[in-house]
């Protein structure tokens, strides 16, 4: 996802891009392939001194590390007085980031948490649809993702985190907790994807959208192909998501880290096809009539993750916009950007969003 964002920024903006990574050879190779100046810096986000040093000579940070690093990187950005965009966390970490709003304002920082495809583009579409309506009753966001667990180590971790613990739904003006991977329902996505089962995941849209939109109900659900659901359920049943180490032949190893490293090492084959499909539904009143504004969005890729392509692209657009201005403090995408400007930027990259209005 970070590589996709770097490619977009190099191709479409005049910003000076530096790639920070533990693996400098990979960073240099990326920039060399793009024909860009080979500006790299070694950074370990789990080492405060390394992170602070890396932020010293920059103005905007695009954080494409794992979710568990987002709050730490947010604090480092505020401490350094630089602006920040990240790809998103689940709702507990997002709440922590929102709690940094005053500190970010005082430091003059523009912090946009959760600006990949979801959270991110989903929030922007929700805001766009809500702005069309006289009143909004509910916002329903559905996602269908086809790339499998073995796409990357990060996807293994993300699928585990999405399928365990607690998720939240905004119901009648209050946050209500439910077990993750529960509350399954069937949703009709545009062809060729059709009817798919989706379930709750701990996404932050129910936490952030009501702060900017007068709405009583917000829900987010994700679905995967049936064989992917089966794999996830088996791994969880066997405890491969556990972080606590076990000893195997005298070697201490975390089941979660082993699974991420082993399963995620396979990667996507050059002929493998993947899709990331989103549907955002905004229920409300238009000219006194109950309607639903529906946005459908799908990205397909062969030989790479569709999620990587679109998430990196959205994050690049967000980073460019943050570099050009905006409100200080911590604002998720629905509060940070003009939705139409954002969609126009996507359209220039040949990504399109289909809009429908249904009478209820």
pLDDT digits (tens, 9 = 90+) for 29-78: 999 999 999 999 999 999 999 999 999 889 999 999 989 999 999 999 99
Which parts of the chain sit beneath pLDDT 70?
A: none
Query: Could you tell me how many helices (H) and strands (E) the chain has, helices first?
Result: 14, 17
Tell me how far apart the alpha carbons of residues 275 and 280 are, in angstroms, rounded to a whole number. 17
Closest alpha carbon to 127 in 214, 189, 207: 214
Tell me phi and psi for residue 296, to 5 degrees: -115, 140
Bridge pairing between strands 60-63 and 83-86: parallel
The neighbour count for residue 311, using CB atoms within 10 Å, is 26
> Strand, helix or coil at 1?
coil
**pTM exceeds 0.95, yes or no:** no
Residues listed for the chain:
360
pLDDT at 156: 93
The Cα–Cα gap between 156 and 262 comes to 10
Q: Which residues of 211-235 are buried (b: 16+ CB within 10 A; e: fewer)?
A: ebbebebbbbbbbbbeebbebbeeb
> Which of 176, 181, 153, 154 lies closest to 165 in space, CA to CA?
181
| CA 288 vs CA 133, 134, 215, 284: distances in Å | 10, 8, 17, 9
Query: Residues 6 or more apart from 184 whose CB is under 8 A from it?
Result: 197, 198, 199
Residue holding tokens 């070694």? 42
**Which of helix, strand or coil describes residue 349?**
coil
231 SS3 class? helix
Residue-wise pLDDT tens digits, 178-217: 999 999 999 999 999 999 999 999 999 999 999 999 999 9
Is-contact 145 310, C-beta < 8 A? no
């Amino acid at each position: 996802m970070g590589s996709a964002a770097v490619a977009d920024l190099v191709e479409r903006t005049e910003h000076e891009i530096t790639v920070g990574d533990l693996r400098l050879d990979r960073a240099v190779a990326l920039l060399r392939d793009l024909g860009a100046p080979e500006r790299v810096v070694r950074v370990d986000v789990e080492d405060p001194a390394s992170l602070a040093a890396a932020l010293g000579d920059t103005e905007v940070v695009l954080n494409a590390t794992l979710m568990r690093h987002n709050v730490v990187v947010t604090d480092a950005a505020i401490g350094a007085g630089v602006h920040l965009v990240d790809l998103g966390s689940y709702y507990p970490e997002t709440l922590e980031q929102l709690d940094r709003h005053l500190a970010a304002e005082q430091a003059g920082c523009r912090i946009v948490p959760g600006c990949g495809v979801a959270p991110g583009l989903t929030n922007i579409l929700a805001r766009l649809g809500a702005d069309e309506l006289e009143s909004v009753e509910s916002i329903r966001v559905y996602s269908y993702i086809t790339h499998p667990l073995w796409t990357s180590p990060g996807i293994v971790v993300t699928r585990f985190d999405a399928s365990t613990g607690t998720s939240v739904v905004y119901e009648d003006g209050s946050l209500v907790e439910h077990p993750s991977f529960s509350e399954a329902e069937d949703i009709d996505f545009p062809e060729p994807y059709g009817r798919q089962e989706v379930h709750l995941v701990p996404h932050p849209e129910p936490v952030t959208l009501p702060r900017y939109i007068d709405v009583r109900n917000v829900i987010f659900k994700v679905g995967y192909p049936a064989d992917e659901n089966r794999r996830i359920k088996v791994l969880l049943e066997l405890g491969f998501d556990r972080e606590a180490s076990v000893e195997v032949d005298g070697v201490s190893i975390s089941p979660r880290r082993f699974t991420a490293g082993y399963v995620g090492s396979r990667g996507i084959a050059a002929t493998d096809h993947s899709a990331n499909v989103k549907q955002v539904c905004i229920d409300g009143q238009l000219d006194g009539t109950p309607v639903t504004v529906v946005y459908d969005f799908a990205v397909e890729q062969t030989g790479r993750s569709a999620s990587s392509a679109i998430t990196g692209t959205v994050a690049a657009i967000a980073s460019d916009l943050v570099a050009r201005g905006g409100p200080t403090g911590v604002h998720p995408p629905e509060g940070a950007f003009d939705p139409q400007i954002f969609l126009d930027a996507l359209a220039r990259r040949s990504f399109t969003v289909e809009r429908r209005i249904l009478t209820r």
